[in-house]
């Protein structure tokens, strides 16, 4: 928190706006839309709810398929199931760790031949790194499939100077506690289509018809953000650039030290993009380092340092065991490789230099000791 949140929360208390909706929500939506350069924004209770609304607006239903990045958090794809639709997962490509345009093209071509084009494509900008938006958008446009950007992790990231989440039909953000800015829990859906966002507002407010009594013709949701939490969001939005700078600095420090190590490869940043570096991620080739990502996580944990594996790809999840999957190349499954080798290091905006040194020292110590252990074995 920055401290300024209290001012906005206090205002909500003083005016007794303890409800979903209210002046903070209106202001938060306007301020976010201005910052992102979009026509309209709707604040909701989670990023997941925002994705769900996007799929609802695009008319995704039971007979439909939706293409989705495989290397992501399960929340990207759960709303596909909420709609009773079928996910098809698309692999990553090495330069962004995000949706492979090569795999996507293959998937679209096959779907087209079977007269079964997806109702939407959900492209994720993993750990803040924008996907190859231009190539993906070109394919989406070519086949007439709307693009939903899951920018839950990439608020503040840029693709050719334009914010991630503003390139497709809809963009969604998350303000969950772990994200680059937070409202403790919350999300947002944005678009240049104001009418669509108005419709999202309608769905998110129990789909109440404009009648003088409670009348409902459509299935709705209770997804609106509370006026108190929107107050937190307003203050957080003001420091977004500072947060991005802090996270990038954390990444750079890790990069300086770890890119020296043979077998350590930092998550790339595609030319023409700025990642918010939400998390510092890298891959470890244990044939060169003698220590795997999981080994290192265990070693760090003994020092009370929390590191994590890269998301387990959705096509490997028991939940989606029957789902179709398109790898980058027929004989190269990039997301599985990234899952096997990837690690996310402590990356908080508030991470101090001392703390980061402690992480780095622990990693340094882990390398020779494990190599030594191996020799003993």
Ligand X SMILES: *Cc1c(COP(=O)(O)O)cnc(C)c1O
**The tokens 């494990």 sit on which residue?**
370
User: CB 338 → ligand X: shortest distance, Å?
Assistant: 14
Query: Is there binding between residue 47 and ligand X (CB under 6 A)?
Result: yes
Query: Is there binding between residue 149 and ligand X (CB under 6 A)?
Result: no
CA-wise closest residue to 326 among 96, 150, 106: 106
Distance CA 341, CA 337 (A): 6
One residue of 93, 105, 149, 153 binding ligand X per CB under 6 A? 153
For the segment 257-316, give every residue that binds ligand X (CB under 6 A): none
Query: Tokens standing for 122?
Result: 């959900």
Query: Is there binding between residue 72 and ligand X (CB under 6 A)?
Result: yes
Query: Is there binding between residue 5 and ligand X (CB under 6 A)?
Result: no
Query: Is there binding between residue 165 and ligand X (CB under 6 A)?
Result: no
Q: Which is nearer to ligand X, 37 or 177 (CB)?
A: 177
Query: Is there binding between residue 42 and ligand X (CB under 6 A)?
Result: no
Residue nearest to ligand X (CB): 47
Which of the stretches 42-50, 55-63, 253-261, 262-270 binds ligand X when contact is defined by CB under 6 A?
42-50
User: CB 347 → ligand X: shortest distance, Å?
Assistant: 13
One residue of 187, 231, 233, 327 binding ligand X per CB under 6 A? 187
Q: Which is nearer to ligand X, 46 or 236 (CB)?
A: 46
Distance CA 189, CA 165 (A): 9
Query: Is there binding between residue 96 and ligand X (CB under 6 A)?
Result: no
Query: Is there binding between residue 75 and ligand X (CB under 6 A)?
Result: yes
Q: Which is nearer to ligand X, 97 or 264 (CB)?
A: 97
Q: What angle do CA 331, 335, 337 make, to 5 degrees?
A: 70
- The separation between CA 114 and the C-alpha centre of its own chain, rounded to angstroms, equals 31
Neighbours of 15 (CB within 10 A): 12
Query: Is there binding between residue 76 and ligand X (CB under 6 A)?
Result: yes
Query: Is there binding between residue 73 and ligand X (CB under 6 A)?
Result: yes
Distance CA 233, CA 214 (A): 31
306 neighbors 346 (Cβ within 8 angstroms): yes
Query: Tokens standing for 211?
Result: 């009648």
180 neighbors 349 (Cβ within 8 angstroms): yes
DSSP 70: S
Length of the chain: 377
The residue ranges that bind ligand X (CB under 6 A) are: 46-48, 72-73, 75-76, 124, 150, 152-153, 174, 176, 187
């Amino acid at each position: 928190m920055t401290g300024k949140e209290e001012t906005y929360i206090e205002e909500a208390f003083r005016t007794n706006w303890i409800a979903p909706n209210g002046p903070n929500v209106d202001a938060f939506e306007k301020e976010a839309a201005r910052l992102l350069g979009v026509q309209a924004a709707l604040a909701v209770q989670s990023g997941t709810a925002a994705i769900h609304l996007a799929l609802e607006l695009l008319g995704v239903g039971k007979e439909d398929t939706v293409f989705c990045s495989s290397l992501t958090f399960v929340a990207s794809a759960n709303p596909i199931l909420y709609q009773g639709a079928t996910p098809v997962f698309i692999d990553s490509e090495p330069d962004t760790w995000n949706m492979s345009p090569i795999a996507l093209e293959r998937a679209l071509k096959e779907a087209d031949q079977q007269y079964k084009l997806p109702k939407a494509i959900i492209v994720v900008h993993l750990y803040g790194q924008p996907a190859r938006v231009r190539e993906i958008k070109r394919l989406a446009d070519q086949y007439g499939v709307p693009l939903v950007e899951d920018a839950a992790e990439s608020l503040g990231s840029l693709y050719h100077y334009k914010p991630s989440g503003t390139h497709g039909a809809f963009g969604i953000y998350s303000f969950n506690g772990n994200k680059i800015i937070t409202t403790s829990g919350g999300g947002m859906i944005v678009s240049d289509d104001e009418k669509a966002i108005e419709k999202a507002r309608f769905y998110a407010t129990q789909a109440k018809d404009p009648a003088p009594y409670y009348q409902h013709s459509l299935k709705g949701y209770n997804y609106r953000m509370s006026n108190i939490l929107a107050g937190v969001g307003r203050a957080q939005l003001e420091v977004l650039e500072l947060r991005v700078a802090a996270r990038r600095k954390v990444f750079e420090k890790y990069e300086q030290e770890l890119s020296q190590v043979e077998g350590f490869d930092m998550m790339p940043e595609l030319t023409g993009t700025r990642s918010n570096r939400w998390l510092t991620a890298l891959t470890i080739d244990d044939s060169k380092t003698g220590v795997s990502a999981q080994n290192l996580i265990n070693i760090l944990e003994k020092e009370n340092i929390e590191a994590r594996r890269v998301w387990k790809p959705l096509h490997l999840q028991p939940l989606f065991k029957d789902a179709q999957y398109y790898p980058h190349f027929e004989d190269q499954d990039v997301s599985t490789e990234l899952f096997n080798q990837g690690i996310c290091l402590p990356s908080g905006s508030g991470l101090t230099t001392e703390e980061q040194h402690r992480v780095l020292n622990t990693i340094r110590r882990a390398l020779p000791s494990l190599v030594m252990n191996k020799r003993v074995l």
